Structures are given as C-alpha cells and as structure tokens.
Amino acid sequence: MAIDTPYRAIFCDLISDQTLDILPLRDVSFDDFIGKAGSLSGTIPIPNKEIADRVKQVREGRTAVYLERGGDLWWGGIVWTTTLQSSGRGVLTLGIQAATFDSYTSRRRIRTDISFNTPTDQMDIARRLWEELDLQEDPSVPPADGAEPRRLGISFGTEKSEVQRTASWRKGDETVYQEALDQLAALENGFEYQILVYRDPTDGKRVRQLRLGWPKIVNGATDLVFDRPGTILSYSFPYDATRGGTTAVARGASTNANAAAESRPISSSQQIASDLLADGWPLIDLSSDHNEVTDTLTLDSLAKRSLDEARGAVVIPAISIHLDGIVPPALLGRVARIRITDEWYSKGLDARYRVIGAKVTPPERGRPDTAELYLEEA
C-alpha cells in the first residue's frame, strides 16, 4: 500500500483481538454486503528478514485484519488464505485473502440440539444461533491452561421484529450455521443481519457486533446525496430477466421412509405474481432447494420470499463515487439520494436507494480513493 494511503492495515489475534502488528498492504481491494460475507485481498511486501519475521505472525485461520481510515474502522474480518511468493528476481510477498467475520458461520456446524418449540421472535432465534456459534466449546479439546476460551467475542443488540417463529436443529445433522441463519432470514417477512466493526467511543476498543434489521437494516438518520455531474463518477442499472421470475416453488427434504421406493422431495405450493402476468409478463419459473426443511408451510414462505425478491427482472443499480470526508465508514444500510441529469435522464432522476453493498478501492500509485455502491430501491 502506498505510503500516503489513508488506510492502515491492523493485524490481530482472532480470539483475543490483541494487536499483532500494523503492516504495509498493497494492491488492496475490499467489499462488504448485507446478507453475505465481504472480502479483502492484498499483498504484504517482504523486503528484508526483519519484515519477514513480523509477517510470520499473520497466520491463516487465526488472524483478524482491520482496515482503519481516519480513526474509523472501515472493514474487519478473518484471514483465511495466505500465499507466499518469490518472483524471478527474488522479491518476496505474502498475498492474503480475508472475509468479514460473518464468514465464520460457514466454517462451523451445529453440533448441539437447538429448539424453539414455542413461538419466539425470529431475531432472538438468530442471536441464539450466534451465541451457540460463539460460545460452543468442544469438551474433548479443552483450551490450554490459562488460555482464553475459543470465542470470536461477538456482541449483541436487543433488536426485535414483529414475527414469531418456531425452529429446531438437531445434533448429528451437521447443519452449517450459515445455512441455518440464511434459511431463517429468507422466510417471508424475514430479517437481515451483518457483523459491524467499529471502535467503542468510550474506550476506543474494537467491537464486533451482530446487527439485525427487520424487515431491512437501515442506518443513519439523514440521506446521503450523490449527484451526476458531481460526486458520481459512473453508474449502471442492469436489468436481468434471467435472474427474475413470475412463479416460484421451493423444494425441501425427502420424507420417503421406504428405501426401496424412489426418493422425492416435498415441495411448496406454486407462488404466482398474478399482477405481473396481468401486465403481460410470460411465465418465468424460479426454484430453490432447502434440503433440511420438512414443513410445507415453511417452504411456502421461502418460495414467496424468493418471488418477492426476484419479481420480473432483477436490477441492482450501482454507482461509483469519490470517497471523501462526507462519506461515512458505516455505508451499509444507509439511504442514498441519487440525482442524475444526462441524455437518458434528460428531465433528471431523483430517487432514493438503500446501500446493500460496497466495494472500495484505496488510492495507490496515483489512483484515486473510490467506492462502488450497490443499491436497491428504498
């Protein structure tokens, strides 16, 4: 990373969050999203033995990395992959690939019975899953004497929704935590989740917090305003009918107890966007698989949510902007007012969108500090 970059790469022990070192990072790009893990890639130059000894502390699967800009944390996650490389001229580098802390859910499986037999707020269920994920210890592998428990140290809020659900997961099914959370969130009238990183304003400590939003995560009291001509460098509005549909069916687990008979999964009823068909759309079918779901009502809810999110043609607008002092680090969930005047929008576009993803490219070798924001209608 260039010397004059506004970002610092802070490497920490994943469990204790103890700072290991602040190291130079080049060729960096990072992104973050609501609803899926974000990523970071970069390269640490290793010009001499002293730096090499420091870089050896960066260990895949055991190291966290934060990007800090102007005293604010813009990104945080887990280093999952490292690649040591030597060029033909003997130049050493360590490439790193990291993902946001919610990626940890894809590396853990439910190995205890978790049941909510009475209707419970869906956000309480999501927090319980994260608590089990973060607190669960394998009794056969105790931590060393005096060692801290193996925990990510995720903090929790008190968000509530107006939706009560029942749910259960069984030991032995080896359900991936991410699949359980995503399935719960994907139900009709579901919720969104994200791991937010920031510094505690009272003591400056780094915080990893589970943020939940129902029905959506919305952040900030005022709209961000981006103009073209102005802050917006470029934009795109991709309309994709291959990803959308006018009907949807969700398939679940097979309930066939006869091993000799053909195994067939149960299915939801077909959900239909009647208004789109009346407006002239053809039948375009969506289908999704949920191999552990055995309840048809749950499958109906999953199919309806799938159709609601992909009605007709799917569009995820994106704008590219200059990052400057008015753009905050916590972009996800912010509402952006987009104003565009050009040949297509000759009368001017003035619309509000919610930021659901952001990809940042830090400045390097004369390249400006820019961000691509992914949007949905607010």
307 and 162 in one domain? no
325 and 177 in one domain? no
Confidence at residue 56, expressed as pLDDT on a 0 to 100 scale: 97
Q: Name the residue with higher pLDDT: 202 or 150.
A: 202
Confidence at residue 3, expressed as pLDDT on a 0 to 100 scale: 41
Q: Strand ranges (DSSP E) for 34-131? A: 39-46, 63-69, 72-86, 92-100, 114-121
Find the helix or strand (DSSP H, E) in which 302 lies.
helix 296-309
354 and 230 in one domain? yes
Percent of the chain with pLDDT over 90: 80
| β-bridge partners, 31 | 359
pLDDT tens figures, 228-265: 999 999 999 999 999 999 999 999 988 765 656 677 89
273 and 128 in one domain? no
296 and 373 in one domain? no
Q: Determine the longest span between alpha carbons in the chain, in angstroms.
A: 70
Domain presence at residue 198: yes
Average model confidence (pLDDT) across the chain: 91
Lowest mean pLDDT among 84-88, 138-142, 373-377: 138-142
Q: Is residue 372 predicted with pLDDT exceeding 50? A: yes
pLDDT tens figures, 92-114: 999 999 999 999 999 999 999 99
126 and 77 in one domain? no
Q: Is residue 188 predicted with pLDDT exceeding 70? A: yes
The CATH code of the domain that includes 176 is: 3.55.50
pLDDT tens figures, 39-84: 999 999 999 999 999 999 999 999 999 999 988 999 999 999 999 9
Q: Is residue 37 predicted with pLDDT exceeding 50? A: yes
342 and 193 in one domain? no
| Residue numbers of the domain that contains 228 | 219-238+316-377
- Number of domains present in the structure of the chain: 4
Q: Is residue 150 predicted with pLDDT exceeding 70? A: no
126 and 87 in one domain? no
Domain presence at residue 1: no
284 and 261 in one domain? yes
What φ, ψ does residue 124 adopt, rounded to 5°?
-65, -35
208 and 119 in one domain? yes
Segment 151-178 shows an average pLDDT of: 94
Percent of the chain with pLDDT over 70: 92
Domain presence at residue 2: no
The CATH code of the domain that includes 233 is: 2.30.300.10
Q: Backbone dihedral region of 236: left (phi > 0), alpha (psi from -120 to 50 degrees) or beta?
A: beta
320 and 224 in one domain? yes
334 and 309 in one domain? no
Domain presence at residue 65: yes
Query: What's the rounded Cα separation, in Å, for the pair 324 and 293?
Result: 47
Domain presence at residue 348: yes
